[in-house]
Amino acid sequence: MNWDRIEGNWKQVRGNVKQKGMTMNQFNIGTIAVAIGLAFSAGAIAQSMSKDEYKAGKDGISAEYKSANANCDSFAGNAKDRCKAEAKGNEKVGKAELEFRYKPTDKTRYEARVAKAQADYSVAKEQCDDKAGNVKDVCLKEAKATEISAKADAKAQMRISDANKTANQKSTTAQMKADEKAVGARKDAAEDKRDADFAVAKEKCDVYSGDAKDLCMNEAKAQYGKS
């Protein structure tokens, strides 16, 4: 693996962040994940990663976390909490991505996606702490819904990939069964997302009372197929 090129991509990202007057721990986790994805392109991972390279990658991620976490001490209150959540999230996502590149399996790919979803949720929760009352409650439900959606997609993709691999080794009948499993996986993911979105809708109804709240709840149930 060309680690010099990966390091160059990472330094370029860090340079762009500094030019915008931001610290690394203020940098959005999603943007970092994109940078990692670009660095570990299909061409980059075509070659195997040695144990030394893997260890060096883990050490680098840990060092970056310690530096980012220490920088958070310059903030206070919720800004500090958010900063630390971003720093920890970056570390978890980085290590999960590294694990996938070192041992590229459906399981490690799934774990990397879950790590990203959890990291985003941790930061989103801290952002919600700046709000109050029902606005905060809705914010938290929306953050949770986003996490559930991302995890559901990751789980569905893993199930579909596993079914397809099994089918490729067997008969046409096995492929048909794999297609059925894929449909089931997507259906399960859609149900998880719908339940999460319904939870958000219910929370929004709490700003009302009496008939207005009942109407809001009935509309939410109708929209998401709840009785």
Span 87-122, pLDDT tens digits: 999 999 999 999 999 999 999 999 999 999 999 999
pTM score of the predicted model: 0.68
pLDDT of residue 167: 64
* Cα 162 from Cα 181, distance rounded (Å): 10
Cβ atoms of 208 and 223 within 8 Å: the answer is no
Q: At what angle do helices 106-128 and 133-168 cross, to 10 degrees?
A: 170
pLDDT of residue 10: 47
Closest CA to 203 of 155, 154, 119, 131: 131
Count of positions (residues) in the chain: 227
Q: In this predicted model, what pLDDT tens digit does every residue of 170-220 receive, in sequence order?
A: 566 666 776 777 777 788 888 888 999 999 999 999 999 999 999 999 999
- Map tokens 């900063």 to a residue: 83
Total Cβ atoms within 10 A of residue 29: 20
On the 0-12 / 13-18 / 19+ scale of CB atoms within 10 A, 122 is buried
pLDDT of residue 162: 78
Average pLDDT over residues 158-167: 78
Closest CA to 147 of 118, 123, 127, 186: 118
Cβ atoms of 10 and 56 within 8 Å: the answer is no
Query: In angstroms, how far is CA 163 from the centroid of its own chain?
Result: 23
Q: In this predicted model, what pLDDT tens digit does every residue of 15-34 receive, in sequence order?
A: 544 444 444 444 444 444 44
* Cα 20 from Cα 207, distance rounded (Å): 39
* Cα 120 from Cα 125, distance rounded (Å): 9
pLDDT of residue 39: 46
Q: In this predicted model, what pLDDT tens digit does every residue of 37-74 receive, in sequence order?
A: 544 444 444 457 899 999 999 999 999 999 999 999 99
